[in-house]
Each structure stands twice: as structure tokens, then as C-alpha cells.
Amino acid sequence: MLQAIALTRKFGRHTALDALDLLVNRGEIFCLLGPNGAGKTTTINCFLGFLSPSSGTALVNGIPVFRQPQEARRHIAYIPETVTLYPYLSGVENLSFFHSLTGEQLSSDHYIALLLDAGLQEQAIHRPVQTYSKGMRQKVGIAIATAKNAGALLLDEPTSGLDPKASNEFSILLRRFSQEGRAVLMATHDIYRAKEVATRIGIMKEGNLLTIMDAATTDHYTLENLYLEYMETSI
Ligand SMILES: Nc1ncnc2c1ncn2[C@@H]1O[C@H](COP(=O)(O)OP(=O)(O)OP(=O)(O)O)[C@@H](O)[C@H]1O
């Protein structure tokens, strides 16, 4: 569903992403771990078509993003670290507005059901989002992503700043996305959350994907130690 083939992005002389090969199939949750500047956001931005590759290809459902960005984006939902919403509009009004940008409009009851399903409290649905916490805004972001019904979900540090309960609820929703047969690619700094939610975990550094492991066959302690070992070793 999401495939990078020798995906490379340079900024001037600096190689932010160096010949990345990656395949995330439907039903998988792939977490990208790595320090600041490792190339995680660059990877996600190449899949979103926000950045063009210097060489190599990003494919979404077999569609080359750089050549057919509109077509590829139809298959993608995206949740950034901070979901940007219109502060004076309510949760349901924001969801209705952002979903209408896909060219489709759903009923008000359907939007409310999506927000409740994403875990937003019923009493908050009609309140302006300027009164929402970060976790509540993320839930509107999840509802926007769910409404789009896309085959792939890209997330860039979505749980940063969320309390443990909100972060746990987020993991439950991600698992549901994968059980529905979507491919999930998430960049995160949260080793614990990655181990809890991922099917596979990749460790990146300086634009290189250094290793990929099955989350089920590793434990938190081993993962953290491996991560630290990679951070200390020069490439
Ligand atoms: N628009 C840009 N212009 C120049 N350099 C950039 C640009 N975007 C990213 N970079 C560089 O590319 C490298 C990878 O950045 P990227 O944002 O992908 O890292 P990251 O792993 O997402 O880091 P973080 O965890 O801090 O979000 C960094 O060295 C960064 O400075």
C-alpha cells in the first residue's frame, strides 16, 4: 500500500533521506523511530507529495506520488502533530468543512457518529474547538481521517503532548484502522507507544533506515537498548 523505492531527498548538499526502501502493507502499523533530523518527517512528506524526491519513488497503492499527487492523495489520510482546525467552528463544523474538501458531504448525524467514535465527548461536539484540549483536537483529526475512508494513514508524532490515557486511546484507534485493512505509517519519538501499537518498527538515523524489527518479537527493554546502541554508533 505504501512503498518507498530508493527514495532519496536532498536539501542542497545535505541528504535528508538516503535511498529508503520500505513497504507497509494493508493491516500493518509501521512505526518510524529516530532522533531529531533522522528523516522521518521527510519520508512522510514525500508520501504526501509535499516534497518531491531527489531520486527514487514513493508509491501509494501503486500510484507514484510525485507524478500523480492528486490521485495518490485520495488514498491517504494524514494526522500531523498538531491538528489545525478553525477555532471558532465546533468540532462537527470543522469535520463537515474538512470532509467537504474531498468532494463528498455526509449527514450531520454521520459526522456526530464519527466524532463519538473517535472518542470525543458528546457535550464537546458543538463547542468551538478553541475550547478543546490537544487530545480533543486530535480526535477531530481522527474523525476527519476516518471520514475520508482512505486506505493509508500517515501520522507525524501524533501522540506528542498527549496524556497517557489520550495516548492509549489513540493506540486503540490505530489498531482499529489496521484491523480495517488500512496501512499505517507513524513517525514517533515514543519507544513505548511504538512497541505497544506497531506491527513493525524501523529505526532511522541521518536519513538511513538502519533496522526493521517485528514488534511482537521484541520487548521494551530490548527495543530501547537497541535504539540507544544505534544512536551511539556512527553510520
Ligand atoms: N525544508 C528543508 N530545508 C532544508 N533542510 C531540511 C528541510 N526539511 C528538513 N530538512 C533537514 O532534513 C533532515 C531531516 O529532517 P526531518 O524533519 O525529516 O527529521 P525528523 O526525523 O522528522 O526530525 P524530528 O524528530 O525533529 O521531527 C534534517 O537535517 C533537517 O534539517
Residue in this structure with the C-alpha cell 468540532, named with its chain if needed: 91
pLDDT for 20 equals 98
Reported residue count of the chain is 235
Asked whether the predicted pLDDT for residue 113 surpasses 90, the reply is yes
Averaged confidence pLDDT in the chain: 93
pLDDT tens, residue by residue, 136-160 = 998 999 999 989 989 999 999 988 8
What is the number of the ligand 1 atom nearest to the C-alpha of 43? 18
| CA-closest residue to ligand 1 atom 7 | 11
Q: Whole-angstrom Cα distance, residue 28 to residue 21?
A: 16
User: Probe ligand 1: pick from 9, 41, 50, max atoms within 8 Å of CB?
Assistant: 41
Cβ-based neighbour number of residue 36 at 10 Å = 7
Is 144:99 a contact under the CB 8 Å cutoff? Answer: yes
| CA-closest residue to ligand 1 atom 10 | 16
Asked whether the predicted pLDDT for residue 233 surpasses 90, the reply is no
What is the number of the ligand 1 atom nearest to the C-alpha of 35? 25
Q: Percentage of the chain surpassing pLDDT 90?
A: 81
Ligand 1 centre from 222 Cα, in Å?
Answer: 27
| Residues 64/207/177/3 CA torsion (nearest 10 deg) | 30
Asked whether the predicted pLDDT for residue 197 surpasses 80, the reply is yes
Is 8:17 a contact under the CB 8 Å cutoff? Answer: yes
pLDDT tens, residue by residue, 89-108 = 999 999 999 999 988 999 99
Q: Which residues contact 193 (CB under 8 A, 6 or more apart)?
A: 31, 159, 167, 171
Residue in this structure with the C-alpha cell 490515557, named with its chain if needed: 165
Q: How large is the ipTM? A: 0.96
Q: Which residues contact 208 (CB under 8 A, 6 or more apart)?
A: 18, 39, 235
Pairing of strands 208-214, 200-205: antiparallel
Confidence of residue 114 (pLDDT cuts 50, 70, 90): very high
Asked whether the predicted pLDDT for residue 234 surpasses 80, the reply is no
Residue of 201, 200, 195 lying closest to 230 (CA atoms) = 201
Confidence of residue 30 (pLDDT cuts 50, 70, 90): very high
Residue predicted with more confidence, 15 or 80 = 15
| Ligand 1, pocket residues at CB < 6 Å | 11, 16, 34, 36-42, 187
Strand, coil or helix: what is 53? coil
Ligand 1 centre from 59 Cα, in Å?
Answer: 21
pLDDT for 228 equals 94
Ligand 1 centre from 65 Cα, in Å?
Answer: 20
pLDDT tens, residue by residue, 78-92 = 998 888 999 999 999
DSSP character at residue 29? E
Q: Which domains does the chain have, with CATH numbers?
A: 2-232 (3.40.50.300)
pLDDT for 124 equals 97
What is the pTM (predicted TM-score) of this model? 0.93
What is the number of the ligand 1 atom nearest to the C-alpha of 9? 12
Ligand 1 centre from 44 Cα, in Å?
Answer: 11
What is the number of the ligand 1 atom nearest to the C-alpha of 38? 21
Q: Return the H-helix or E-strand segment holding 204.
A: strand 200-205
